[in-house]
């Protein structure tokens, strides 16, 4: 596994951990979802770092939509 891909996975996991802290949500859930998406993309779909970034972007959009729907 290339080191650049590991760096991307760790950076997104840290981002979602901090974002969950900022939003007073479960850090384990958000970080776990990030890691799960990364592992699915990497190990199951055999995708590269670009697809991992796209998956993380999809997670961000999904979390945003859920939070918007919860508030309304």
Task: Kindly report, residue by residue over 16-57, the tens digit of the pLDDT.
Answer: 999 999 999 999 999 999 999 999 999 998 888 999 999 999
Find the farthest-apart pair of alpha carbons in the chain and give their distance in angstroms, rounded: 43
**What total number of domains does the chain contain?**
1
Alpha carbon distance 8, 42 (integer Å): 12
- For the cut 70, the answer to whether the pLDDT of residue 8 exceeds it is yes
Name, in order, each residue with C-beta under 8 angstroms of 27's C-beta and a sequence gap of 6 or more.
17, 20, 21
Under the banding of pLDDT at 50, 70 and 90, the label for residue 72 is confident
Q: What's the average model confidence in pLDDT over 6-14?
A: 95
Element (H, E) at 64: helix 49-71
Res 47: pLDDT: 86
CB 9 within 8 A of CB 38: yes
Domain that holds residue 15: 3-71
Burial of 60 (0-12, 13-18, 19+ CB in 10 A): middle
């Amino acid at each position: 596994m290339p080191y650049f891909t590991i760096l991307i996975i760790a950076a997104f996991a840290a981002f979602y951990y901090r974002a969950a802290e900022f939003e007073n949500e479960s850090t384990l859930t958000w970080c776990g979802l990030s890691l799960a998406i990364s592992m699915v993309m990497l190990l199951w779909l055999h995708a590269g770092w670009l697809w991992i970034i796209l998956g993380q972007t999809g997670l961000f959009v999904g979390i945003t939509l859920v939070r918007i729907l919860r508030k309304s």
